[in-house]
Structure 1
Amino acid sequence: MPWGVLEKSPEENDCCDLMSLKFPSDLEELRELAEFLQYYKQEHQSYVLLLFCAAYLYKQSFAIPGSSFLNILAGALFGPWMGLLLCSALTSVGATCCYLLSRAFGKQLVVYWFPDKVAMLQRKVEENRSCLFFFLLFLRLFPMTPNWFLNLASPIVNIPVSQFFFSVLIGLIPYNFICVQTGAILSQITSLDAIFSWGTLLKLLATAMVALIPGTLIKQFSQTHLKLDEKDQSVCLLNGRKST
């Protein structure tokens, strides 16, 4: 899906006049896009920021998987902390837009195409209604179903929009943190040797350790307060990926 077309700087017109922007589908496309936007950002920072926000909200609002590439891109373009703040805000706002669109137009379609998943989620929500917010955090940290499905199905199972918003904002911070930090680190690497340097490896290890802390706390809470099946409690060991 193209983002649009941007004019390149006069210094680059010898190569080509225009560059088509699209969502990256692999690391090579991500690297090329990051290099171009970093160059363009030097004189058009506000435009690049607006373009990034619009693309991110588009993917989140319409439940299009693959926002991990945009999280990594945010780290490369805006740095680790600005990128994390930006991605956390855009993730929660975009997911809430998806929630509202599903509540207004998509209920029948979601129930029709995913009846078993909706029924399972409904049952779990009712069982954990007394501590619903922490259950939602558990689902974001250790998803039994993809995050895009949670965004679509939450209004159907009567999850309040306020709890939905803050569970996304807080629950996806570790995931966003890893992606953004990785993007920020990789953007500073200029050779393959630098990838395997002790400095880079220690930064990546520290990022992973910090991101594990919230998940460990929620897991301990879930074992004593949430009503989960054994399969649900072991999902963190079986599911190492997120689909956002």
Structure 2
Amino acid sequence: MRSLVGFVSVVVAASVYLYSLSLYLPAAPRRQIAAGNHAGTESEQNPDSSGEPSRSPTVTSLILKFPSDLEELRELAEFLQFYKTEHTTYVLLLFCSAYLYKQSFAIPGSSFLNILAGAIFGTYQGVLLASVLTTVGSTMCFLLSQAFGKHYIVNLFPDKVSMLQRKVDENQDCLFFFLLFLRFFPMTPNWFLNMSAPIVNIPITFFFCSVFIGLLPYNFICVQTGVMLSEVSSLDDLFSWERLLQLLAIACMALVPGALIRRLSKRRLKLDAQLPNGLIPEKKVQ
């Protein structure tokens, strides 16, 4: 009971902090910088009756929340790009806080935030930011599970925990390599692996490094997708030959490490044979 109260207290405190941060919006930037768009100049030349430059409708009407579809994602990206022109620190703090909140409490939807990172910060900064936040957030989930959730996770997912424990024990001699394999070809969802890792005695150093390295291709694809979405203005632009070739190159780059991991895993790892649908067959009782 004490562990449940402690976990709820952490969730409430984090939620209040993130909500308060989303309510605090600095003064809107004095000019909106957009490629090929002179809206900022016109805004400065045509102030409203109070003497202040007119604000973009997006700034005054958008409520900050986690995006649930691409349309909300695009609106949020435009809004944060607008604020980032003069309030970079606030946008960075808000994005990092929201990302760590989702990762720490195993809330689905991190792919949208990875895409958002690409749209706001670009390829290089976006990939670095997404990779670091994914790793730190997953580690925070690891620590929360270790402190508060062991008993509940074992009771809720006894079969999955038992299966993962068995595979970890069988691959102790190459545990880090096995963890990389799980990130490239998950036998179990990432959120479950984050929560169950301390239960099956995975060292936090192995866990930390395997998350950072193993999710790099996934983060890169999501971030690059965000960069492309921020650069196109219509579906015709998205499906142009140039964009399609970029997507093909991105897919090839992401598949290379996965192919190497799969090839080496056949020699070193002890894995059950999988059915075509990816499920692990149950062993028959003699």
* TM-score, normalisation: structure 2: 0.78
Task: Give yes or no for the alignment of 1:152 onto 2:189.
Answer: no
CA contact (8 A) 2:111 2:222 kept: yes
Distance of aligned partners of 1:15 and 1:174 in 2 relative to their CA distance in 1, 3 Å threshold: closer
Distance (whole Å) between structure 1 residues aligned to residue 276 and residue 181 of structure 2: 10
- Indicate which of 67, 80, 95 corresponds to 2:123: 80
Sequence identity (%)? 65
CA displacement at 1:19 relative to structure 2: 3.3
In structure 2, the residue matched to 1:198 is 241
Distance (whole Å) between structure 1 residues aligned to residue 61 and residue 27 of structure 2: 6
- Indicate which of 105, 123, 135 corresponds to 2:166: 123
- In the TM superposition, 1:102-121 aligns within 5 A as 102-121=145-164
Q: What value does the CA root-mean-square deviation take over the aligned residues?
A: 2.0
Deviations along 1:78-115, whole A, 9 cap, x unmatched?
A: 00111000000000011000000100110001001000
More strand by share: 1
* Partner amino acid, structure 1, of 2:121: F
* Partner amino acid, structure 1, of 2:204: V
In structure 1, the residue matched to 2:263 is 220
Deviations along 1:138-181, whole A, 9 cap, x unmatched?
A: 00011111100000000000000000000000000010010001
* Partner amino acid, structure 2, of 1:77: I
Distance (whole Å) between structure 2 residues aligned to residue 26 and residue 8 of structure 1: 28
In structure 2, the residue matched to 1:19 is 62
CA contact (8 A) 2:232 2:238 kept: yes
CA contact (8 A) 2:58 2:79 kept: no
CA displacement at 1:234 relative to structure 2: 7.8
Distance (whole Å) between structure 1 residues aligned to residue 277 and residue 258 of structure 2: 13
- Indicate which of 72, 93, 112 corresponds to 2:136: 93
Task: Give yes or no for the alignment of 1:57 onto 2:100.
Answer: yes
Distance (whole Å) between structure 1 residues aligned to residue 214 and residue 265 of structure 2: 14
CA contact (8 A) 2:131 2:216 kept: yes
Task: Give yes or no for the alignment of 1:179 onto 2:222.
Answer: yes
Task: Give yes or no for the alignment of 1:34 onto 2:34.
Answer: no
- Indicate which of 47, 50, 61 corresponds to 2:90: 47
* Partner amino acid, structure 1, of 2:112: F
Distance (whole Å) between structure 2 residues aligned to residue 179 and residue 172 of structure 1: 11
Distance (whole Å) between structure 2 residues aligned to residue 43 and residue 86 of structure 1: 20
CA displacement at 1:7 relative to structure 2: 5.5
CA displacement at 1:235 relative to structure 2: 3.9
CA displacement at 1:127 relative to structure 2: 0.5
CA displacement at 1:232 relative to structure 2: 7.9
Higher relative contact order (CA 8 A, sep 6+): 1
- Indicate which of 60, 66, 70 corresponds to 2:113: 70
* TM-score, normalisation: structure 1: 0.92
Distance of aligned partners of 1:127 and 1:12 in 2 relative to their CA distance in 1, 3 Å threshold: same
Unaligned stretches of 5+ in structure 1?
A: 237-244
Aligned length: 236
In structure 2, the residue matched to 1:207 is 250
CA contact (8 A) 2:181 2:262 kept: yes
CA contact (8 A) 1:7 1:18 kept: no
Deviations along 1:106-143, whole A, 9 cap, x unmatched?
A: 00010010000000000000000100001000000111
CA displacement at 1:8 relative to structure 2: 6.3
Q: Secondary structure at the match of 1:143?
A: coil
Distance (whole Å) between structure 1 residues aligned to residue 122 and residue 58 of structure 2: 29
In structure 1, the residue matched to 2:10 is none
